[in-house]
Amino acid sequence: MTDRIAVPTSIAGYTALVTGGGSGIGLGTATRLVRDGAHVTICGRTEEKLVAAVTELEAAAATATSAGGSGGTARYVVADVTVEEQVATAVAEAASPRGHLDILFANAGGSFHMGPLATADVEAVRSTVDLNLIGTFLCLKHGAPVMAAGVGEGIDGAEAPGGSFIGMSSGAGAFPHRYLWAYGASKAGIDMLCKCAAEELGHTGLRVNTVQPGIIDDELMSFITAGGPLLDDYLEGMPISRVGSVDDVAAAVRYLAGPESTWISGVNFPVDGGHHLRHGADYGLLFGE
DSSP-derived letter for residue 45 is S
Contact 79, 91 (CB under 8 A): no
- The catalytic position among 76, 183, 234, 283 is 183
R_g of the chain, CA atoms, integer Å: 19
Question: Minimal CA–CA distance to 70: which of 10, 18, 26?
Answer: 10
What residues have CB less than 8 Å from 276, skipping those under 6 apart?
171, 174, 175, 212, 214, 270
Active site residue 234: no
Distance in angstroms (rounded) separating the CA atoms of residues 214 and 236 = 13
Q: Which residues pair with 270 in a beta bridge?
A: 212
In the chain, where do the E strands start and end? 15-19, 39-44, 73-78, 103-106, 164-168, 207-213, 268-271
Q: C-alpha angle 177/183/184, rounded to 5°?
A: 50
User: What residues act catalytically?
Assistant: 183
